Amino acid sequence: MRHLLIYDMIEAVHRSGSIRKAAEDTNITASALNRRIQAFEEEFGSEIFERLPRGMRLNPAGELLLHHVRSQRQDLARVHSQVADLSGVRRGHVKIACSQALLPYFLPQQISEYRSAFPGVTFSVKVRDRIEAEQDLVTFESDLALVFEPAHLVDFEILHAVPQPVMAVMSRAHPLAGRKELRLRDCLQYDLVLPGPQYGVRGLLDLAASRSGQRLEPALETESFEMVRHYAAYGQCIGFQIPVGLSERARPEMVFIPISAQDVAGGELLLGHLRGRTLPVAALKFARQLAHALGPG
């Protein structure tokens, strides 16, 4: 829509930090873009950018404006979805921020099932840790977030919560593989592969270890849960993950054993969106499907 073009230009300048780079992105000259920004500021009644020696940066007024514009765009997308529903054509775009744990099995299956019913709906999925996922909601980069043990919850409205115990992940040939449940002290006798401290699973493990006067000293620390699973498949190493990211059918050479709640308290996997926001139709329908698939909280 033509009346939204100036907002695209403001976004471009904000992203690039300079008139010259933004002009290249929007296919106009730098002087023309600068005139458009200045004309908007005059009509708006306030400057929205700080002119710095090496570029442009939004001032507080500009940040408020940009947040309003993003909110209005999301509302417009929701109206488009509702109009599409009225005509019987289901379409839209759903943006999801989620933990790596949801990527291998759960989320691909859910998206595939949804698109079988509504092929006009498209998706984008961004891998985010629990802090980044919440920030994505605030900036309207994502409609929904699926996160394990989120850090803040200030702007997070919970749609569904489901408990997730911490599971030990190991080779079927591991000496502990025959146990039905493990104590943390049993695991600490072996090499550990752990996710980084920004992840909820690691936070629960660190807390449990400190309470018992123990210390986690990983043989391997990684930001990839895929690497946790693959590395734990070899030899005597033990990794940790939550059930939603595991599949015995897909990994028959591995076993997944719960850690005793006496040692490591389980956490919650939360599905949510930005507090106070009305979701587009497609995102809301998909959220309801996810809640059903995750099961009772």
Does 87-163+269-294 match 2-58 at the fold level?
Answer: no
CA atoms within 13 A on the CB side of 87: 8
Ramachandran assignment for 241, one of left (phi > 0), alpha (psi -120 to 50 degrees), beta (any other): beta
Residue 267 and residue 207 in contact, taking contact as beta carbons nearer than 8 Å:
no
Sheet holding 238-241, edge to edge: 220-222, 192-195, 238-241, 167-171, 254-258
pLDDT tens digits, one per residue of 61-99:
888 888 888 887 777 777 776 676 654 446 788 999 998
pLDDT mean across residues, the chain: 88
Residues of the chain above pLDDT 90, percent = 42
The first and second tokens of residue 230, run together, are: 């693959």
Cα(35)–Cα(30) distance, rounded to whole angstroms?
9
Q: Which CATH architecture is the domain 2-58 placed in?
A: Orthogonal Bundle (1.10)
CB 3 within 8 A of CB 40: no
**Structure-token pair, residue 66:** 């940009």
CATH code for 87-163+269-294? 3.40.190.10
Q: What is the pLDDT of residue 247?
A: 86
The fold of 166-265 is: D-Maltodextrin-Binding Protein; domain 2 (3.40.190)
Residue 88: per-residue pLDDT: 42
225-283: per-residue pLDDT in tens?
889 988 998 878 999 999 999 888 888 899 999 999 999 988 999 999 999 888 888 89
Contact (CB, 8 A) for 149 and 258: no
pLDDT (tens digit, 9 = 90+) per residue, 16-27?
A: 898 888 888 888
* CA atoms of 157 and 209, how far apart (whole Å): 31
Strands (E), the chain: 49-52, 55-58, 91-98, 120-127, 144-148, 156-164, 167-171, 192-195, 220-222, 238-241, 254-258, 267-274
Domain chopping of the chain, boundaries: 2-58, 87-163+269-294, 166-265
Identify the residue whose tokens are 């009509």.
43
Lookup result for tokens 């599409």: 84
Contact 17, 50 (CB under 8 A): no
Measure the CA angle with vertex 204, ends 203 and 205; round to 5°.
90
Tens of pLDDT along 131-162?
888 889 988 889 999 988 876 677 889 999 99
